[in-house]
């Protein structure tokens, strides 16, 4: 009897939980419907201003004053965003023209939001970036404000500030922003920086020139980021990169970044340096030889094959693995490497067997 009571009690609890979950889902559904209805309430008014812009007229003074008030509240700002997202799908060019006409409102809004709580400042910076509201007409203002945001503790805030600078497209602003992060030892992940720089809207050749002119002002960590950006951006800087790579007492991470660069760009003067790194692995950190074994994919020759085969007998797994992978990329067969398979080094045989088998599987797929 007691067990039956316990079972009914347990079933009652389960039923109550199911009813509670259904009620929560229903309330959330109603809230979402309400949000969707209220979020686009600014759309009709903005459409009227679009019509004025199409006729070659400017925005109404009353509309600008109303937008100043809307920009002061986060909830109203969210409604503005949703309305703009809807209109943007219909006519992106006209939407951007409207944003440009709202430039004074964005400037006044930035002056207010960037002094508020970090989350509100981050959200407003994200809107400025999203709609490309920062332009050359107010460049001094935006540059000054972005330099302030770059020192914020929030990574989201810093990332939005950098993206605004990238989209504004001014070379000196980008370089000064990166120097600011570097000088204040503000950590911002290198991947975020070099991936963001790929979206730079200005003159990329001018940016490269400025980066090289001021390269020595950056720390080793930032130099690694910049060389990685040059590699990803397919920037032809072989001569400069080799000079950096061969500097006496060069930082290891900078050296490795330069090696990876030459894994993408074939540069004959770099070839003997890469070969030496792999042949004389004992004289350097093992990472140098491992990277050399990988980047030599870009330097196929009989000499390269011989050095890579010798690297298969290294005591370091990463060196063996990269050497075997590079040999596989050269299209060598079992017959070409029979002396390895008939040799006494089990580890060399196994790693080479793995990559040749991998090629067979890849072909079948």
**Whole-number pLDDT of residue 258:** 96
Q: What tokens appear for 90 in the block?
A: 């219909």
**Whole-number pLDDT of residue 35:** 47
**Whole-number pLDDT of residue 1:** 52
Q: The domain containing residue 361 runs over which residues?
A: 266-365
How do residues 158-193 score in pLDDT, each as one tens digit? Answer: 999 999 999 998 999 999 999 999 999 999 999 999
Whole-number Å distance between alpha carbons of 250 and 247: 6
Task: Provide the mean pLDDT of the chain.
Answer: 90
Per the structure, how many domains does the chain have?
1
Is 307 within the bounds of a domain? yes
In this predicted structure, the answer to whether residue 27 has a pLDDT above a threshold of 90 is: no
In this predicted structure, the answer to whether residue 65 has a pLDDT above a threshold of 60 is: yes
**pTM of the entire predicted model:** 0.81
φ, ψ dihedrals at 285, nearest 5° = -65, 145
Is 350 within the bounds of a domain? yes
In this structure, of 163-177, 314-328, 339-353, the range with the lowest mean pLDDT score is 339-353
Sorted by sequence, the CB contacts under 8 Å of residue 117 that are 6+ apart come out as: none
Q: What tokens appear for 238 in the block?
A: 């072989």
Whole-number Å distance between alpha carbons of 111 and 130: 18
Under 8 Å between Cβ of 176 and 217: no
Return the CATH number at 315: 1.25.10.10
A 10 A CB-CB count for 237 gives 19
In this predicted structure, the answer to whether residue 36 has a pLDDT above a threshold of 50 is: no
Is 131 within the bounds of a domain? no
Is 218 within the bounds of a domain? no
- Burial code of 169-189, b = ≥16 C-beta within 10 A, e = fewer? bbbebbbbbbeebbeeeeebe
State the DSSP H helix or E strand holding residue 123, giving kind and residue range, or none if neither: helix 118-130
Q: Which has the closest alpha carbon to 188: 211, 162, 166?
A: 162
**Whole-number pLDDT of residue 158:** 95
Is 326 within the bounds of a domain? yes
Whole-number Å distance between alpha carbons of 179 and 218: 7
Under 8 Å between Cβ of 270 and 242: yes
Interval 136-155 mean pLDDT = 91
Is 365 within the bounds of a domain? yes
Interval 327-332 mean pLDDT = 89
Interval 318-323 mean pLDDT = 94
- Burial code of 142-153, b = ≥16 C-beta within 10 A, e = fewer? bbebbeebbebe
Is 331 within the bounds of a domain? yes
Is 24 within the bounds of a domain? no
């Amino acid at each position: 009897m007691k067990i039956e009571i316990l079972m009914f009690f347990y079933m009652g609890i389960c039923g109550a939980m199911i009813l509670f979950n259904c009620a929560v889902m229903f309330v959330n559904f109603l809230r979402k419907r309400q949000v969707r209805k209220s979020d686009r309430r600014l759309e009709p008014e903005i459409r009227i201003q679009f019509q004025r812009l199409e006729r070659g007229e400017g925005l109404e003074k009353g509309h600008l004053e109303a937008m100043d008030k809307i920009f002061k509240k986060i909830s109203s700002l969210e409604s503005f965003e949703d309305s703009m997202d809807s209109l943007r799908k219909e006519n992106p060019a006209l939407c951007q023209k409207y944003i440009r006409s709202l430039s004074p409102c964005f400037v006044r809004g930035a002056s207010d939001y960037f002094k508020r709580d970090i989350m509100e400042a981050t959200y407003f910076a994200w809107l400025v970036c999203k709609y490309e509201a920062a332009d050359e007409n107010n460049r001094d203002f935006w540059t000054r404000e972005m330099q302030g945001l770059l020192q914020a503790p929030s990574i989201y805030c810093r990332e939005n500030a950098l993206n605004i600078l990238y989209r504004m497209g001014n070379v000196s602003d980008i370089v000064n922003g990166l120097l600011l992060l570097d000088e204040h030892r503000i950590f911002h992940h290198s991947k975020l920086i070099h991936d963001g720089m790929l979206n730079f809207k200005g003159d990329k050749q001018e940016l490269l020139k400025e980066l090289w002119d001021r390269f020595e002002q950056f720390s080793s960590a930032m130099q690694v980021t910049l060389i990685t950006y040059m590699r990803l951006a397919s920037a032809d800087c072989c001569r400069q990169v080799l000079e950096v790579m061969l500097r006496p007492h060069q930082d290891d991470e900078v050296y490795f970044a330069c090696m990876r660069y030459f894994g993408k760009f074939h540069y004959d003067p770099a070839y003997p340096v890469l070969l030496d790194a792999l042949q004389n692995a004992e004289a350097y950190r093992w990472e140098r030889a491992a990277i050399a074994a990988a980047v030599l994919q870009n330097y196929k020759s009989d000499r390269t094959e011989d050095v890579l085969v010798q690297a298969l007998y290294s005591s370091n797994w990463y060196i063996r693995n990269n050497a075997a992978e590079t040999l596989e990329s050269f299209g060598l067969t079992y017959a070409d490497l029979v002396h390895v398979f008939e040799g006494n080094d089990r580890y060399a045989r196994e790693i080479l067997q793995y990559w040749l088998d991998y090629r067979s599987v890849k072909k079948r797929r």
